[in-house]
Amino acid sequence: MLSHRRRLRRSQGERGGVLLELALVVPFLMTLCMAILDLGLGWRADLNLTNAVRTGVRVGAAQGSASGADHTILVSVGSALGRIPPEQVRRVIVFRSTSATGSVPAACTTAVVATSGGSSVDSCNVYSNSDLLAALASPTSPPASFTGPCGTARRDRFWCPLTRDNEAGVNGLGLDYLGVYLEVDHPTSTKIFGPTLEIDDSAVMRIEPEAGA
């Protein structure tokens, strides 16, 4: 009888230990699964982002010095976002790079330059979400702020498309490198990493000879 009671207490203790282990492990596994879900969705959004910047930079290289080049770039980027709603885009930056492997100038990603709309020193035009939505609303008709001579009336005046070098020159050294940088606020499903994930990407391509001439 005594041995039976000992076995019963041992069995109850083992069940209690299993329940305690489950109580400790289950929350961890649930958190891990939710983190994997958010990271997976973020990875898919990053693929869409990469496609959008590559599309934008290819279009920009083909536009060259055309007056409405940046308007066309914005339309192309917005149209290539895939599953990313345009409303999630924080900013699009069209910039001049010094090489095919160059990146967006650090100053162009600051709040001060974003408020100004760009930087002539760093040769970049910074477009907000409202700029992108406006371009998508009128894809075939650039507004007046993307036309006319380079000057303060132009939205893209900080690196005016009319000044972009599309002439190959000696040994092909004259062509400008054009870059497109895109940044989005991707909303998370589980909020483990916060309400949004900031995802960004950029691409650079040399302007095609005589493009936009």
Summarised one tens digit per residue, pLDDT across range 151-190 is: 999 999 999 999 999 987 655 557 899 999 999 998 887 7
- Averaged pLDDT score across all residues of the chain: 86
The contacts of residue 80 (CB under 8 Å, 6+ apart) are: 51, 52, 55, 56
pTM, 2 dp: 0.82
pLDDT computed for residue 2 by the predictor: 47
Report CA Rg, the chain. 26
The yes-or-no verdict on residue 80 having pLDDT over 80 is yes
Confidence of residue 8 (pLDDT cuts 50, 70, 90): very low
Domain extent listing, the chain: 2-206
Instruction: Please tell me which of 27-36, 49-58, 193-202 the model is most confident about, judged by mean pLDDT.
Output: 49-58
Residue 180 has φ and ψ, to the nearest 5°, of -125, 125
For residue 74, pLDDT beyond 60:
yes
Q: Residue 50: its pLDDT value, please?
A: 94
Instruction: Name, in order, each residue with C-beta under 8 angstroms of 181's C-beta and a sequence gap of 6 or more.
Output: 53, 92, 93, 95, 104, 108, 109, 200, 201, 202
Of residues 204, 195, 187, 193, the one with CA closest to residue 83: 187
Q: Which of 154, 164, 169 is nearest to 66 (CA)?
A: 164
Instruction: Give the pLDDT confidence score for residue 191 in this predicted structure.
Output: 75
- Among residues of the chain, what percentage have pLDDT more than 70? 77
Residues 103-107: what's their mean pLDDT? Answer: 96
Q: Beta strand 177-187 with 196-206: parallel, antiparallel or unpaired?
A: antiparallel
**Residue range 99-128: average pLDDT?**
96
Residue 212: the pLDDT is 84
Are 180 and 57 in contact by the 8 Å Cβ rule? The answer is: yes
